[in-house]
Chain A
Amino acid sequence: MSEKSRNLAKQLKLVFKIFSRSPTLLFSLVVLLVYIIAALVVVLGFVPPLPPYKGGWEYMYQPPSLRDFPWYILGTEYTGRPLLLTIIYGIPKTLAVAFLSALITVGVGTAIGLIAGYVGGLVDELLSLAINVALTIPTYLLALILVVILPPELKTNVLVLAGVLSITAWASLARAVRAQTIALKRREFIDVAKTIGYGSWKIMFDEVLRFMAPFIAMNLVLSCVGAIYGYTGLAFLGLMPMTPDNWGVQIYMAIRGGGALYSDKAILALWSPIITIVLLQYALINIAKAMEDIFNPALRTYLQGEEM
């Protein structure tokens, strides 16, 4: 037990070292933390409810004001609601769709890759065929068709959206996990585990998976990036329900309805959701990169060696 905790402390120290070396990474972590706190604040009900829709030109894209501080400091959006509030309301839903979709993508991809690589034989042949077919179907393409044909009540369901956005996204991870499993299978410790009498499932999901944990964690973060791209991008095409709390819909309306093409009236409504999306993607990509560094054994030994 003490061996385990010492190992954990060593790993944490390494993680801390990688973080402290890079200000961009620190910035990215702070950004992600802010989004998560904002999501929690909304979910726990600390934010006032969205005021009702107000039609009419005089309510749309109003300039910033100090009314009901701080909710109107970005002005109003296309439904006359405070822009800041609708952007904040978008955070929990976007994060929920992204995280659920990433969980499905990574869960399915890891399981299929592990089983194909470890079991081998006919199972591997069949699963490899499934992986190769899924690789030829781009997720966003099939997701686009499904988002159009699904009935509206399903399109607003977070779980359905997450499933649609991960429909074939698991394939590239499955391919990578399969290749790594085949390589790991030849190592001695697997033979030792077999001799001790460990079952296949225990070896696969405990011994083999442990080696791939950082790689899988990195893919979890990258899958979030992909799901956010799909969720907001399909909304920008006007194919998602026109809910005011989707950042893609906000950008779509700012350009098509807000006259962003000719005037600065909707400039805040155009740039606020753009910055919200890009900042989140930037933070996630940087965090994924740091995980790749932890995963990269050469860099890890270099950093650990320096410590001694």
Chain B
Amino acid sequence: MNWALRKAIFSLAAWFLAVSISILIIVLSPGDPALIMLTGFLQQGIPYDQAVRMVQAYIGFSPAEPWWSKWLRYLLGVVTGNLGVSITYRIPVAQLIANAIPWSIFFVSYSLSLTVILGVLIGIALAYYRSNTIFVRSVTTVLTVFNSIPNWILAAVFFVYIGARWQLLPYMGPYSNDVTPGLNLQFIASVLYHYTLPTMVMVLTSIPGWAFGISAMASAILKEDFITYAKARGLPSSRILWTYITRNSILPIYANIAITFTWLLVGTVWLESQFLLPGLGSLLATTSGARDYPVMIGVYVILITAIVLGALFTDLTYGFIDPRARVGET
């Protein structure tokens, strides 16, 4: 358990530094949001003292104080759950974020599990049927093409064609208007149906990395002596495939789950806004367009927190799956 505690403390330190450095970069850059907001208020004819107080109320720090005091004050706000007030919605940023979080958790974890499962299956198939050149060539070509399509482009194309033009799948909003949100079967079915297209985009653009990684691992393992020995012992090939090859191929790239999680989380900025879904990504995208700085920085900090938690979770579960990780230096 000592090992888990050390991991947690290390993550906390990384989170603190990442948030601090980001805040300092934002505050020290030529576009300090507090100053931009102050200029905006002054242009509206608001007296200077009142404008300074308004900026402080919205974003949590005043444009007049030195950089270290802005940083400390904002960090204190983050720790106490006070992220300022949204300029466009006029409600606390923390409340906006709390409403958005469940949607993003659902979208990202749904896409992540599908990506990993399908990616592993395709990767194992690529390695197992490697003698079938036509199969390997065609699958590899398709994967490379999807690897080269940015996820926001695939989202735009699916939105325009599968959604708006051909009307094959829902392409706007998280559920249809005729269901009542809550824990009923109709609502859940409607949400899953509406998230089909966005999830397809997420999964199709993130599968190649997993498939290529797993297939490289599995190809190496297939050449190992213990596979030959297992075959010689007459073990059924399904057992060799799942217990011997698949499990050993996943272990070395298990940590990639955290990387894919981060990648999908960042992807929500484009995908949630494209398909008009609620969530952290669309909140960031819409408030960026409206220059709503308190919300932007608040969502940014929450996303960093989610990434640190995702990495910690991956590390801890990996330690339980593979005890060797617990004694290693990392």
> Which residues does A use to contact B, with CB under 8 Å?
24, 129, 132-133, 136-138, 140-142, 144-146, 148-151, 154, 167, 225, 229, 232-233, 236-239, 251, 255, 260-262, 270, 274, 277-278, 281-282, 285-286, 289
Contact = CB atoms under 8 A, between A and B. Distances in A.
B269 interface: yes
Contacts of A232: 150
B156 interface: yes
A229 B296 CA distance: 21
A262 B164 CA distance: 7
Given A149-B33, A154-B31, A289-B144, 4 more contacts: A133-B17, A138-B262, A142-B300, A167-B25
B157 A148 contact: no
Interface string B1-35: 00000000000001101100110011001111100
B311 interface: yes
B160 A133 contact: no
Instruction: Count chain B CB atoms within 10 A of each CB in A145, A154, A225 and give the residue with the most.
Output: A145
Chain A contact residues, majority secondary structure: helix
Given A141-B266, A262-B164, A281 B14 contact: no
A136 B14 CA distance: 8
Contacts of B285: 237
Contact of A150 (B31, B270, B284, B296): B31
Interface string B286-312: 001101010011001001100110010
Which range holds the interface residue count of chain B? 35 or more
B16 to A, nearest CB: 9
Given A145-B26, A261-B165, A262-B164, A138 B293 contact: no
Contacts of A137: 18, 21-22, 304
B36 interface: yes
Contacts of B152: 233, 236
Interface in B239-258: none
Contacts of B149: 278, 281
A208 B266 CA distance: 35
The 3 A-B residue pairs with the shortest CB-CB distance, nearest first, are A149-B31, A282-B148, A281-B148
Contacts, number: 118
A145 B300 contact: yes
B179 interface: no
Contacts of A167: 25
B147 interface: yes
18 contacts: A24-B141, A133-B21, A138-B265, A140-B269, A145-B300, A146-B26, A149-B29, A149-B36, A150-B31, A151-B31, A239-B288, A251-B156, A261-B165, A262-B164, A274-B157, A281-B149, A285-B148, A289-B144
Contact of B25 (A138, A146, A148, A151): A146
Contacts of B150: 229, 232-233, 277-278, 281
A141 B308 CA distance: 14
B81 to A, nearest CB: 21
Most-contacted residue by chain B among A167, A233, A239, A286 (CB, 10 A) = A233
B144 A136 contact: no
Contacts of B15: 136
Contacts of B273: 237
B153 interface: yes
B145 interface: yes
B153 A251 contact: yes
B261 to A, nearest CB: 11
A236 B270 contact: yes
